[in-house]
Amino acid sequence: MNGSTIEHIPVLAETLAEQISLPPDGVMVDATIGQGGHSFLLGKTLGPEAVIVGFDVDNDALRRARSKLEELACRAILVNSNFSHVSEKLRESGIERVDFVLADLGVSSAQLADAEFGLSFQANMPLDMRLDKRLEHTAADIVNKEDEKSLADLIYQFGEDRASRRIARSIVRQRRIEPITTTGQLAQTVCRALGRKKPGRRSRMHPATRTFQALRIAVNNELENLKQLLASAPRLLNKDGYVAIISFHSLEDRLVKNDFKQNADAGIYRILTKKPIVPTRQQVLDNRRARSAKLRIAQKQ
Ligand SMILES: C[S@@+](CC[C@H](N)C(=O)[O-])C[C@H]1O[C@@H](n2cnc3c(N)ncnc32)[C@H](O)[C@@H]1O
C-alpha cells in the first residue's frame, strides 16, 4: 500500500491553538511537520513577517507540507533533517530565537499505511521502520541479528512489555527456521509467543503493539532525539515563547513531564498544563489515532 493519498488528521490541533497566542510576526518551529496540519491551523493567525520552520526526515511529508503551507501569508522554511539538529539548522537559516517549538511525535497515518516504511502489523509489509531512509539499521536487522537477551531487554525497555523474554525467545526460535523479514511474520511470532491470535476480550490492543513500538523507538533513536529537542528548547525560545509536545506513549510523556518540571524548578518555564491535555471522547471518535495522545505545554519565563 502507498500512503501518498492518505490524509493525516492532526491530533489536538484546535485544542493547542486555544492554549497559545503567537505574535503575528513570530517564528514557529514545527519539529515534526508531517503533512503540515498543525502548522496550517496555527499559521492562519500569522502575518507575512512570520516564519514557520518545519522539520521532517520524510521527504514525501515535506513535499505535502510545502503545498499546504503555500496558502498561508507567512513564510515557510522546510528542512529535511532530524529535529535533534534543530539549533544548528535554525542557525544555518539565520534564526537564533523562536516563539514556539512544537513536536507532534511518532508517525503519520500516511506513513503507517505506506509499505515503504514497514511500520504496521495491520498489513504485511517488509519489516523496516526507518522514518529516515539514511539510517543504517532496519527493524529486520535488529530482529534477525540481536542476541536473545538484548532483544528481550529492548522489548522490555522500549515496549514496557512484561512478556519480553517469551517474545524474544519466540523470535530467536522463529528466525532459526527462516529470517523474519515482514511485519506479518513478526506479528505472528509475537502472537504465538503470547498464545494469542488477536487482541484479547479485555484489551483492544494487538498483542504485537508493544514489540512494534519498541523496535520503532530503537530503529529511529526516538527517545534520544526527543531528549535533544527538549534540551535545545530553553535556549531557542524568546521570553513568553511556548514549547508544546504531543506524545503517544508513556516513555515519551515521562521525558516531557520531567523536562518541563526541571525547567520550571529552575525558573525557566511556567508549566501551562499541570496535567497533560488528552483528547475528548468525540475527538477520539473522529480520529482513532488521537486515543493515546497527551499534550503538554510550557512557556518560557
Ligand atoms: C505525527 S506526524 C506529524 C503530523 C503533523 N503534525 C501534521 O499535522 O500533519 C510525525 C512526523 O514527524 C516526523 N518525525 C518523527 N521523528 C522525527 C525526527 N526525529 N525528526 C524529524 N522528523 C521526525 C515523521 O516523519 C512524521 O512525518
Q: What is the CATH number of the domain that holds 40?
A: 3.40.50.150
Which of 220, 241, 258 terminates a domain? The answer is 220
Domain that holds residue 230: 3-110+222-300
The answer to whether the CB of 34 is under 6 A from ligand 1 is yes
Per-residue pLDDT tens over the stretch 31-77: 999 999 999 999 999 999 999 999 999 999 999 999 999 999 999 99
33 Cα–ligand 1 center, Å = 6
Which of 220, 253, 286 terminates a domain? The answer is 220
The answer to whether the CB of 108 is under 6 A from ligand 1 is yes
- Tell the residue nearest (CA) to atom 3 of ligand 1: 34
Average pLDDT, the chain: 95
Does residue 103 sit in helix, strand or coil?
strand
pLDDT at 113 > cutoff 70: yes
Could you tell me where the DSSP H helices lie in 178-249? Answer: 183-194, 209-220, 222-236
Sign of CA dihedral 50, 277, 221, 184: negative
**What does the pLDDT read at residue 3?**
59
**What does the pLDDT read at residue 2?**
60
Which of 220, 240, 255 terminates a domain? The answer is 220
How many whole angstroms separate alpha carbon 65 and alpha carbon 69? 6
How many whole angstroms separate alpha carbon 295 and alpha carbon 246? 4
How many whole angstroms separate alpha carbon 185 and alpha carbon 124? 8
pLDDT over 90 percentage in the chain: 92
> Is 300 buried (19+), middle (13-18) or exposed (0-12) by CB count in 10 A?
buried
Count of domains observed in the chain? 2
Q: Are residues 99 and 242 in the same domain?
A: yes
3-class SS string, 26-68: CEEEECCCCCCHHHHHHHCCCCCCCEEEEEECCHHHHHHHHHH
Q: Are residues 288 and 211 in the same domain?
A: no
If pLDDT is split at 50, 70 and 90, which confidence band does 205 have?
Answer: confident
Q: Are residues 129 and 200 in the same domain?
A: yes
The answer to whether the CB of 86 is under 6 A from ligand 1 is no
35, 53, 56: which to mutate for ligand 1, most atoms within 8 A of CB? 56
Instruction: Say if CB 27 and CB 97 are below 8 A apart.
Output: yes
**What does the pLDDT read at residue 160?**
96
